[in-house]
Amino acid sequence: MRLATWNVNSIRSRVDRVLSWLDRADVDVLAMQETKCKDEQFPFERFEAAGYEVAHVGHSQWNGVAIASRVGLDDVEIGFPHQPGFDKNADEALLSTPVVEARALGATCGGVRVWSLYVPNGRTLTDPHYAYKLEWLAALRAAGTDWLTADPGAQIALVGDWNIAPTDADVWSPEFFEGKTHVSQPERDAFHAFDSAGFTDVMRPLHPGPGVYTYWDYTQLRFPRKEGMRIDFILGSPALSARVTDANVDREERKGKGASDHAPVFADLTD
């Protein structure tokens, strides 16, 4: 099985590109983030014509996650247990109801429980979105711990745009990012907590050095200057990680007209 994740940065703008890549890369399961559309706007028919079942959750032109699979799509679940919402009025000290955003979608595909995840950005270290991000990650880790406690042999993949560069090797310039989100110690601690919970970054053992990135900002010629970040991950449970034979970033998909600012990340699993 080939499992992949890709922040597509608007599926309606890039459906042709995504479907072309699925065919060329021979992908069985693709988790997508930032689809940026409502459910009724998602191009289901295009994926179905290519042989994929699709689950999607999107409420507006922001966020949105999906899973496309040609090896089965069962037990679809919108949001993980106790997923926190975001209070859009928190910075104004107003009373409101936190909204659970379209950031997490689970489905069982070919025996693997896949979670497509779009972790909150954080914005700045003093923004309410930063506290929300840490709360969101803590809740996801608690859910993951419960899943593995219930079934230590479960095949689980937590995949997506994590909006965290867990080490200095995952950014083009630690000095440039100093004092910013994505690299702060609380965020990095939250990411590494998944390792202690039993989930492994399946690509890092195969590519231990710096310079392996998954995201390049559209501005300042970041991509041709190789000034990127590694913020998209496939974290596998012990049983799933043991099946990984290869994992990589398809950097070529960041090239050309109409590219997302993220490249797809994939992992190959033995039967």
Query: Region 232-250: what's the mean pLDDT?
Result: 98
Q: Is 26 annotated as a binding residue?
A: no
| Cα 29 from Cα 116, distance rounded (Å) | 11
Residues in the chain: 271
Q: Is 129 annotated as a binding residue?
A: no
pTM of structure? 0.96
Judged by DSSP in three states, 147 sits in helix
Summarize pLDDT for 2-19 with one digit per residue, the tens. Answer: 999 999 999 999 999 999
Chain-centre distance for alpha carbon 213 = 14
Q: Is 163 annotated as a binding residue?
A: yes
Range in 56-65, 93-102, 121-130, 186-195 with the lowest mean pLDDT: 93-102
| Cα 34 from Cα 7, distance rounded (Å) | 6
Q: How confident is the model at residue 154 (pLDDT cuts 50, 70, 90)?
A: very high
pLDDT at position 196, please? 95
pLDDT at position 96, please? 60
Domain limits, the chain:
2-269
Q: Is 63 annotated as a binding residue?
A: no
For 187-231, give the DSSP string.
HHHHHHHHHHHT-EESSTTT--SS---SB--SSTTTTTTT--B--
- When computed from its CA atoms, the radius of gyration of the chain, rounded to whole angstroms, is 17
Dmax (CA) of the chain? 52
Does residue 244 surpass a pLDDT of 80?
Answer: yes
Instruction: Give the architecture-level CATH label for domain 2-269.
Output: 4-Layer Sandwich (3.60)
Alpha-carbon distance values, 88 to 146, 150, 262 (Å)? 29, 35, 26
Q: Is 89 annotated as a binding residue?
A: no
Alpha-carbon distance values, 8 to 128, 208, 240, 259, 269 (Å)? 26, 26, 25, 8, 23
**Mind telling me the catalytic residues?**
118, 161, 262
Alpha-carbon distance values, 195 to 13, 51, 166, 234 (Å)? 35, 34, 11, 12
Query: Region 188-193: what's the mean pLDDT?
Result: 98
Summarize pLDDT for 193-217 with one digit per residue, the tens. Answer: 999 999 999 999 999 889 999 999 9
Mean pLDDT of the chain: 96
Q: How confident is the model at residue 87 (pLDDT cuts 50, 70, 90)?
A: confident
Q: How confident is the model at residue 92 (pLDDT cuts 50, 70, 90)?
A: low
Adjacent-strand bridge partners of 56: 66
| Cα 108 from Cα 75, distance rounded (Å) | 6
Summarize pLDDT for 110-139 with one digit per residue, the tens. Answer: 999 999 999 999 999 999 999 999 999 999
pLDDT at position 209, please? 86
SS3 content of the chain, % helix, strand, coil (to 5): 30, 25, 45
pLDDT at position 91, please? 57
